Structure formats: structure tokens, C-alpha cells
């Protein structure tokens, strides 16, 4: 609708003509429409996507009452749920639809990512855009500590493989830089909106070219995700849950995430660490490298079982239906109260 209506006021008038029970607004468009909702007799439900905390705060600054006075709010992670001020808020975890799950299952069978004994390197994968919030620099520093052995227990010559890693950082080199003028690249870099150049420089200065492979954003991640053993999500805001983690867990990868995650139990099917604590991350990576095949397979199977139970499209649809029924009933009550007044 944002593309159809150039002016938010036109969109508001169109909504009024339809007289819906409630209007769902994606949080990425909240700052565009929020100032025009105040004072209007429209029941709103804000759908908060992951990774939009900054945008949502900006929108809240434009209109402080928009979120708190909304009929309801739907979040897809605890990270957003905690700080949203609304009495009628729901968490509905992200999910992979059945067709996507079938594709992942077929690929998992053909290219298994099970752990190999005496491997030359232990493979980790990270998928994130090169922004400061995604914490790619935490992975780079943790890799340096692991390579040098700083702040880690001493390793004998036979266990030197514990410090050898190969990390693929998918999306660490932004595709947008290839089509952008140099001044705009510098602005993006200096404002920490895009750390592609900084990542390249860090890896080169710290001599981590053999350990860290920086790659562009790609749509088909299976080439790197299937053969890997561990997946890292290094958000500095503690946002430890998303579709990338769901896909990795479904494929049986052991996930290492910053902050608390709803379905990752520390030491049971993955590992958690405090955001920005690169020393702790290095210690977890070394511990992963020492993991036995039996322990890895146990954690892998537990991850797959959780996703098959909690993150199917059927589970998502059921929770969404419950939330929308609650919102619909509340919006009808509000309409009756407003009509009487």
C-alpha cells in the first residue's frame, strides 16, 4: 500500500472507507504512517519484525503514543517483546514453510554436515549484513584470540587442531558498494552503517586471511551451510533468534548465539554468550572444536527436533490465528465503547 499511496493521508482515508476491524502495520513502515494515526478512530496492530529496533525507536520518537496505544503488537522474538510498551503483545516465532523445509531436508540428506574426526579445520558459518549491530567484528576478534591462544588454556602440540578454524562470513561484503559512489561509501563506513571496508582491513592487518573468508550476500546459502558444523549469530544487541538460526537448527547445526534464545539451551543443543564478549566466543569455539562426534550428533538431533515441533508453518499459523482473534475481539469492544461515548 505504501507504493500505491504517495501521501499517508490518502492511505488513512482509504482505510476509513473500508472500516476494517483492525489494520496491521509492518514496523518498517511505522515512521511513515505513525504521525497520521494519532487522533484517528482506527484500531492498529503493529507487526514487529526482527532487526528493526533502531527503526522502531525512531518511529516512537516521532509518535510516542503510537506503540503503546495500538490495539496490539505482534513480535517474532523476545528481544523486541521485552522493551515494547503495550499490554496486548504477542510473540509468534518465525517459521519455515513446508516447501522450504522439504528443500532443506533433501539437501541435508545429499550433503550431510556431520562432524568428521581429525579434520584439518573446524568450519563455522555466519550470515549477516555488515552493520555494527550484527557484530561481525566480534567474530574476527574471537578468531584472532583462538589463533594466538590468548586468554585460553594452554594447548599441547597434539591438540593444535583445536585452534584451527575456517569461518565463512556470508554477506560481510555488501553488494551495494559495487554500485555506489566513493563519497557515499565513505559516509556509510564512517557512520558504521556498512563495515565491509573495515572488515577487509581488519582481516588483512590481523593476518586472518586463511581463517576468515569474507563473502558477498548470496541467496542460496546451502553451499556453505550444509557442510559446516557450527553456526554463529553475533548480534551486539542480543538479538539471538531469526530465520537464519531456524534454518541452521533444522539442518542440525550446533548454533552459537549472543544473548538468550528461546529454543537454544546452553550446552544442550547450542551455546550462548554475552553480546560483544569475544573472549567467551573464542572459548566456546575452542570447546566446539574439541567436541566428540557423539556429543555433536546428540546436540544436532535435539536442534532438529525442536524446530520440527515449534517452528513449522502449522505452528506459526495457529499462534497467529489466536493472536488475531484476540486483537479482533478487542478492536470490536473498543469500537462499541467509542460509539457509546
H/E segment holding residue 47: strand 44-48
**Confidence (pLDDT) at 124:** 92
Which of the four pLDDT bands, split at 50, 70 and 90, describes residue 103?
low
Is the pLDDT at 163 greater than 90? The verdict is no
Residue indicated by cell numbers 495457529: 318
Neighbouring-strand partners of residue 216: 173
**Confidence (pLDDT) at 54:** 47
Which of the four pLDDT bands, split at 50, 70 and 90, describes residue 1?
low
Cβ count within 10 A of residue 253: 28
Taking the CA atoms of residue 53, residue 57, residue 59 and residue 60 in that order, the dihedral angle to the nearest 10 degrees is 130
Residue indicated by cell numbers 585460553: 152
**How many CA atoms, within 13 angstroms, populate the side-chain half-sphere of residue 266?**
10
Cα gap 228→112, rounded to integer Å: 9
Is the pLDDT at 57 greater than 80? The verdict is no
Taking the CA atoms of residue 102, residue 107, residue 110 and residue 113 in that order, the dihedral angle to the nearest 10 degrees is -120
What percentage of the chain carries pLDDT values higher than 90?
A: 21
**Confidence (pLDDT) at 111:** 39
CA distances from 68 to 63, 65, 72, 84 (A): 10, 5, 9, 8
Is the pLDDT at 290 greater than 70? The verdict is yes
Calculate mean pLDDT across residues 320-334. Answer: 77
Task: Report pTM.
Answer: 0.79
Is the pLDDT at 330 greater than 60? The verdict is yes
The answer to whether the Cα torsion of 27, 33, 36, 42 is positive or negative is negative
Cα gap 34→42, rounded to integer Å: 12
**Confidence (pLDDT) at 116:** 43
Amino acid at each position: 500500500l505504501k507504493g500505491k499511496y504517495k501521501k499517508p493521508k490518502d492511505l488513512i482515508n482509504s482505510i476509513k472507507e473500508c472500516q476494517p476491524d483492525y489494520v496491521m502495520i509492518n514496523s518498517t513502515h511505522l515512521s511513515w504512517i505513525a504521525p497520521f494515526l494519532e487522533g484517528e478512530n482506527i484500531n492498529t496492530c503493529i507487526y514487529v519484525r526482527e532487526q528493526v529496533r533502531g527503526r522502531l525507536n525512531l518511529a516512537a520518537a516521532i509518535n510516542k503514543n503510537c506503540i503503546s496505544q495500538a490495539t496490539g503488537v505482534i513480535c517474532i522474538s523476545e528481544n523486541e517483546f521485552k522493551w515494547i510498551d503495550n499490554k496486548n503483545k504477542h510473540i509468534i516465532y518465525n517459521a519455515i514453510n513446508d516447501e522450504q523445509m522439504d528443500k532443506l531436508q533433501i539437501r541435508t540428506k545429499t550433503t550431510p554436515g556431520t562432524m568428521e574426526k581429525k579434520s584439518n579445520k573446524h568450519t563455522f558459518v555466519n550470515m549477516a549484513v555488515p552493520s555494527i549491530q550484527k557484530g561481525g567484528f566480534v567474530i574476527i576478534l574471537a578468531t584472532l584470540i583462538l589463533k594466538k591462544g590468548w586468554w585460553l588454556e594452554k594447548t599441547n602440540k597434539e591438540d593444535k587442531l583445536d585452534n584451527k578454524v575456517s569461518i565463512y562470513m556470508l554477506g560481510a561484503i555488501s553488494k551495494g558498494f559495487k554500485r555506489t559512489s566513493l563519497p557515499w561509501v565513505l559516509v556509510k563506513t564512517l557512520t558504521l552503517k556498512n563495515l565491509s571496508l573495515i572488515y577487509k582491513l581488519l582481516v588483512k592487518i590481523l593476518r586472518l586471511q586463511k581463517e576468515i573468508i569474507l563473502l558477498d550476500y548470496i541467496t542460496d546459502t546451502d553451499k556453505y551451510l550444509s557442510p559446516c558444523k557450527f553456526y554463529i549469530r553475533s548480534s551486539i544487541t542480543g538479538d539471538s533468534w531469526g530465520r537464519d538460526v531456524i534454518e541452521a537448527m533444522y539442518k542440525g547445526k550446533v548454533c552459537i548465539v549472543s544473548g538468550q534464545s528461546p529454543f537454544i539451551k546452553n550446552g544442550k543443543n547450542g551455546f550462548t554468550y554475552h553480546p560483544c564478549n569475544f573472549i567467551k566466543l573464542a572459548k566456546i569455539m575452542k570447546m566446539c572444536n574439541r567436541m566428540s562426534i557423539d556429543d555433536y550428533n546428540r546436540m544436532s538431533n535435539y536442534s532438529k527436533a525442536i524446530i520440527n515441533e515449534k517452528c513449522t508453518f502449522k505452528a506459526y499459523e495457529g499462534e497467529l490465528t489466536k493472536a488475531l482473534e484476540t486483537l479482533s475481539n478487542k478492536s470490536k469492544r473498543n469500537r462499541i465503547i467509542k460509539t457509546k461515548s
